[in-house]
Amino acid sequence: MVREATPADHGACLGVIRRAFRTVADDLGIGGPAVEGRLASALTSDAERDIANAPRFPADWAEQRFAAAIAGDGTLLVAHRAGRLVGCVFVGRVPADAAHWVLKRLAVLPDARHLGIGRALVGAATERARRAGATRLTLRIIAENEVLGRWYTGLEFCRRSELQHPGWSFTVHEYELRLVHAPVAARPVDPEAVAGSCEVGERE
């Protein structure tokens, strides 16, 4: 069900990202050009701008912004259901740290939710990072999105840090999945399985 995207999938993926994140923007009352402008003017360093890419809201992505993600955010994985592309996610390594991979823009169309597609995409992204030798997979979410935070916790991610910046109207939580490198024979055979671990006491 999950495979790597080809260029022919890119238009559909941008549509999925926009529509998936529109429900978040509507639920949380965020996004839009006003937020982007506020963020840009509040940021002074490259590092801050890099962090700000996370909350720059995908519901409003232009084609150029999607193209930048294709160029810089690693591999794009896609999920299909009944022949239709219904979900996607970016996963890739941090340039300075091969052991640290990042998951971004997980998106499933509203009418295809609650069927396990999001979980399958996270599982496939996790497996890709693990096979590449990563020891940790991280992601960032808007803290107000408590349903999403609980969902990632249920997928074995642990909340690690809280980020706040002047100009942001929201807080960002970073989550981490520690990747287990079991002997080959002991690895799960299900490629969609999510098998990470948190230290005792660090799970929510």
Ligand X SMILES: CC(C)(COP(=O)(O)OP(=O)(O)OC[C@H]1O[C@@H](n2cnc3c(N)ncnc32)[C@H](O)[C@@H]1OP(=O)(O)O)[C@@H](O)C(=O)NCCC(=O)NCCS
Write out the residues near ligand X by the rule CB under 6 A: 20-21, 23-24, 106-108, 113-119, 139, 141, 147-148, 151
Tokens of 162: 């809280």
177, amino acid identity:
L
Minimum distance of ligand X from residue 90's CB (angstroms): 10
Map residue 47 onto helix, strand or coil.
helix
Minimum distance of ligand X from residue 120's CB (angstroms): 7
The 10 Å CB-count burial string (b at 16+, else e) for 84-93 is: ebbbbbbbbb
Specify which residues 138 forms β-bridges with.
Answer: 102, 176
Tokens of 156: 């074995």
Check residue 54 and report its DSSP letter: T
Dihedral angle computed from the Cα positions of residues 135, 102, 157 and 161, in that order, rounded to the nearest 10 degrees = 100
In the complex, residue closest to ligand X by CB: 118
> Of 39 and 88, which has the nearer Cβ to ligand X?
88
CA 97 from chain center: how many Å? 18
> Of 116 and 133, which has the nearer Cβ to ligand X?
116
> Of 43 and 112, which has the nearer Cβ to ligand X?
112
> Of 39 and 175, which has the nearer Cβ to ligand X?
175
**CA–CA gap between residue 90 and residue 122 (Å, rounded):** 10
> Of 43 and 87, which has the nearer Cβ to ligand X?
87
| φ, ψ at 44 (rounded to 5°) | -120, -25
> Of 103 and 134, which has the nearer Cβ to ligand X?
103
**CA–CA gap between residue 106 and residue 20 (Å, rounded):** 9
Minimum distance of ligand X from residue 151's CB (angstroms): 4
Minimum distance of ligand X from residue 104's CB (angstroms): 7
125, amino acid identity:
A
